Structure 1
Amino acid sequence: MNKEKKLVWTVLGIVISLMHIIPFYLLITTSLKGGDDTSSKWVFPTSFNLENFQNAWEQANMGTALFNNVLITSLSVAMLIIFGSLAAYPLARIATKLNRFMYFAFVAVMIVPPLAILVPLYKFIVDIGGLNTIWAVVLVHVSFWLPLTIFLYTGFIRSTIPAELEEAAMMDGAGPITIFFKVVFPLLKPVTASVIIITGMFVWNDYQFSVFFLQKAEAHTITVALSVFFSQYSNDVGLVAAGSLLGMMPMIILFLFLQKYFIQGLAAGSVKG
């Protein structure tokens, strides 16, 4: 690559980075300013006003919402990892017409927008008594993100894990379940990190399902609690910014811990079979 192209790509990378960093910077500066601070939103505050975070936590009922979010996200992601990896293993290793059809069926389901079936889904949740319950929302999230999880795991197993490892374990007398959990699953760490980040982010930030299925205040997730909070305190931008920052911090911390596996697992898991 010549110097001109390298310079263009460098400038493009800087511009894209700034597009993501600037809103985050403005959110931080706004959340740290008190109501009597009339300085520009671009100016970093000289003194930190942490009362915004305390008030947002208490007035938006963030404690209950955070607990609900952690519970829903943890259960959903755990089920996606278990069911997704177990379903992907035979699809990746057993080359039959049925498995190939099932694989492409999972891929095709990924293009269906969730809002397209929201009305019948809402009726179904009401009929089974799942309204305002954690388990119903968890099952909905698992149903919608399982195809993507299977897609990533299948591509990763096909392209990254050599079948000779499983054949050697089979010669030692190991059965299919033992081979999967003792040989294959420990090697799925990169794509598992990608699954945790991608599905965890979507489940954590979900609004469209939570606002319909979790209507009681004690069942609200962070997105629903913040939407109610915004409508009540829309004039106090510092308070609103602090609430938003509190809601996004857990996923930012999770990404920082798993980022070294993310690109590797996503690239390998997106290989088409």
Structure 2
Amino acid sequence: MKRMQKKKRILLTGLALSIAVLHLVPFYILLTTALKQKGDFSSKWKLPEEFSIANFTEAWDKAGLTNSFINTAIITFVSALLLIFIGSLAAYPLARRRTKLNQAVYFLFIAIMIIPPLSSMVPLYKMVVELGMMNTHAVAILNNTAAYMPLAIFLYAGFIRSTIPKELEEAARMDGAGTMGIFFNIVFPLLKPVTATVCIIACVFIWNDYQFSIFFLQDKEVQTLTVAIAGFFGQNANNLHLVAAASLMAMLPMTILFLFLQKYFIKGLSSGALKG
């Protein structure tokens, strides 16, 4: 029996390592391409003989990444704050008060998650034009908040139900604490793991959003990274060194965020964040 378990563990470890290698291969090719000097067309698998960071500085200037980074950071940061604040507040009564109405609302949010976002593009575009909100940070923030709010509520409600004991809230209520006081002083501080999960998932999707940004943020002043790099790729299709450097710089913030919050992210998933 122990031998079978050992073989199973070795097999699963080998499978996990294989999957990790498959995910690292594109990153390796991107890195080697970005570090090669202009005119170096050696094999994509081969490390450059001389490492060069000139591609990064040139790509940053030519693609105008300063403005795009600021726009993307503002949209991502504000959207994530709204998702965490509103999502946790909305999930708390849905998780604690199991009425028929709350159950219906909860399943409605789950149903909304199934609807493809692009199916709402035409009416959404018409509404944004009529409100005069084209090419503004506000339209991107509101759109992303609305798009990922069902997911945030789903994760928060599942975590509260399965992880946070009601006895803590009942004890605080007996001491005279109100509902909002209980939430902000007792419940919310315990939501760190699932908050990290919501933050990583939402930030990664919002940071990398292209389909909505290309329609609503067409002005260069409010252009996001994905749109800027897509245009930069079209202009420099014959110079992949620059494109690779720009792509690496664009993915770096979310990579750092995940490395910083990965402990909480894993804990949030394993502690019941996906147990509705």
TM-score by structure 1 length?
Answer: 0.98
Residue 268 of structure 2 corresponds to residue 265 of structure 1? yes
CA-to-aligned-CA distance 1:220-247 (integer Å, 9 cap, x gap): 1000000000000011011000000010
Identity %: 55
Q: Which one of the candidate residues 238, 242, 248 is aligned to 2:241?
A: 238
Q: Give structure 2 stretches of 5+ with no counterpart.
A: none
The alpha-carbon deviation at position 156 of structure 1 amounts to 0.2
Q: Which one of the candidate residues 78, 87, 106 is aligned to 2:81?
A: 78
Q: Which one of the candidate residues 189, 192, 204 is aligned to 2:207?
A: 204
How many residue pairs were aligned?
Answer: 272
The alpha-carbon deviation at position 104 of structure 1 amounts to 0.5
Q: Which one of the candidate residues 26, 31, 37 is aligned to 1:23?
A: 26
State the distance in 2 between where 1:187 and 1:4 align.
38
The alpha-carbon deviation at position 8 of structure 1 amounts to 1.9
Residue 156 of structure 2 corresponds to residue 156 of structure 1? no
Where 2:245 maps in the other structure, the secondary structure is helix
Q: Which amino acid aligns with 2:274?
A: S
Q: Which one of the candidate residues 247, 252, 256 is aligned to 1:253?
A: 256
State the distance in 2 between where 1:171 and 1:137 align.
43
Which sits farther off after the overlay, 44-53 or 232-241? 44-53
State the distance in 2 between where 1:79 and 1:263 align.
22
State the distance in 2 between where 1:162 and 1:6 align.
34
Residue 88 of structure 2 corresponds to residue 90 of structure 1? no
The alpha-carbon deviation at position 25 of structure 1 amounts to 0.8
Which sits farther off after the overlay, 142-151 or 36-45? 36-45
State the distance in 2 between where 1:113 and 1:47 align.
46
CA-to-aligned-CA distance 1:171-191 (integer Å, 9 cap, x gap): 111100110000000000000
State the distance in 1 between where 2:179 and 2:6 align.
53
The alpha-carbon deviation at position 38 of structure 1 amounts to 2.7
State the distance in 1 between where 2:28 and 2:199 align.
26
Q: Which one of the candidate residues 134, 141, 149 is aligned to 1:131?
A: 134
Residue 193 of structure 2 corresponds to residue 229 of structure 1? no
CA-to-aligned-CA distance 1:115-149 (integer Å, 9 cap, x gap): 11101111111111110000011000011100000
Residue 70 of structure 2 corresponds to residue 67 of structure 1? yes
Q: Give structure 1 stretches of 5+ with no counterpart.
A: none
Q: How large is the Cα RMSD of the aligned pairs?
A: 0.9
State the distance in 2 between where 1:116 and 1:95 align.
31
State the distance in 1 between where 2:252 and 2:57 align.
15
The alpha-carbon deviation at position 3 of structure 1 amounts to 3.1
